[in-house]
Amino acid sequence: KTEKERFQVGKRALELLGVEHEIATENVVLNKVNTQSLLVNLGFDKDFKGEVGFDFVFGKIGEEKRSVLEIVNELSKFKIKDKAGSWIGSRMGRPEKAKLRKLTGSPNVLFPIGTEGGRLRSVNAAVEVGSVKSSFPFYYCKDCKRESIYRTCEVCSKKTVKKFYCRMCDKEVEEKCELHDSVQNYKNGKD
């Protein structure tokens, strides 16, 4: 391989390993801490004294096609795992060409926003209102005698009992209302 090809391969290897580096007149420059970390991971002594040399490393790399991580794991004294694995991000491709996308319909957020967020269900708009009114299933802890929106009590960590609500009678029921068949698993808050 030519010197330029070796340079490109080495630079790409540093990028894949996530090693911070700079380019200065056709040379790759590492700071002292990154250099020591890299050398230790390649089987060198951190002070660059020892029997392992670059010829040894290039001999281990060989001509066979292997990933940088596999080669480093062969040289290193301890197991090194992939930094991020495989993932797909929203900035892949050409982020400079990304355009604003208008959402049609009702966009969703992880936190229930309700009408307080306006037609766009904006979290910022809901924060300005100060509170959010929404419908949650409700549960009851018999030990603490408290209502909760969670299946497990927040105070004693025991399992709660699901409660239902009859709008016609305006009362809480265990399973279904004796007078009316329709119950809902949430209770609207009082204004």
Asked if 119 and 155 sit in the same domain, the reply is no
Q: How far is CA 61 from CA 3, 67, 68, 130, in A?
A: 17, 10, 9, 61
pLDDT tens digit string along 122-157?
Answer: 777 877 887 777 777 888 899 999 888 889 998 999
Domain annotation covers residue 170: yes
For residues 170 and 128, state if they share a domain: no
Q: Of 182, 181, 183, which Cα lies nearest the Cα of 172?
A: 183
Does 49 lie in the same domain as 29?
yes
25 with 44, same domain: the answer is yes
Count CB atoms within 10 A of the CB of residue 14. Answer: 17
| Structural domain count of the chain | 3
User: Is the residue at 128 inside a domain?
Assistant: yes
**pLDDT at 191 (0 to 100):** 39
Residue 99's pLDDT is what?
A: 65
User: Do 152 and 119 fall within a single domain?
Assistant: no
Within-domain flag for 17: yes
In a domain, 86, yes or no: no
The pLDDT of residue 143 is: 92
In a domain, 25, yes or no: yes
What integer pLDDT is reported at residue 63 of this predicted model?
67
Does residue 65 sit in the same domain as residue 127? no
**60 and 113 together in one domain:** no
Same domain? For 169 and 113 the reply is no
95 located within any domain:
no
Pairwise CA distance, residues 10 & 28, whole Å: 9
Q: Are residues 34 and 71 in the same domain?
A: yes
Residues of the chain with pLDDT under 70: 1, 45-58, 60, 63, 83-111, 185-191
Asked if residue 176 and residue 139 are part of one domain, the reply reads yes
Domain containing residue 184: 135-191
pLDDT for position 134: 74
In this structure, the answer to whether residues 51 and 68 fall within a common structural domain is yes
Q: Is residue 53 part of a domain?
A: yes
Q: How far is CA 142 from CA 145, 171, 186, in A?
A: 5, 18, 18
In a domain, 153, yes or no: yes
- 172 and 119 in one domain? no
